[in-house]
Amino acid sequence: MENTEKEKGKLAPLQQLSRKLGRNTLVADTLVRLRDNGVKASPSMVYKVVAGYVYREDIATTFMQVAQEEIARRKLLDDRARQLIAEA
């Protein structure tokens, strides 16, 4: 019997990232970016790629780019908040 990620009770890496950062925002932003680039995709398709059920490199790559930008945005906000706390 093949041991898939689901059988082991583990989440796929993109799924872990999605849950950590907030999946609805990432999926919505990914869909906007894909549509801007002329790629047709549904929320369901993005979720399937994130869960590892479907392989679409264009969707996975766009999802990771959006996630990286979200991480950078959050880090910048955290840094700015720390700076303001230090100045207060």
Contacts of 73 (CB under 8 A, 6+ apart): none
Domain residue limits, the chain: 11-87
- The continuous run of DSSP H or E covering 63 comes out as helix 57-87
Please give the pLDDT value at position 8.
54
Total-model pTM: 0.78
How much is the average pLDDT of 18-30?
86
Whether pLDDT at 18 is above 70: yes
Whether pLDDT at 82 is above 90: yes
> What's the pLDDT tens digit per position in 35-73?
999 999 999 999 999 999 999 999 999 999 999 999 999
**Residue in 56, 63, 52 with CA at minimum distance from that of residue 26:** 63
Please give the pLDDT value at position 61.
96
Please give the pLDDT value at position 19.
84
Q: Terminal CA-to-CA distance of the chain, rounded, Å?
A: 60
- Apex CA 9: angle with CA 22 and CA 54, to 5°? 65
Whether pLDDT at 2 is above 90: no
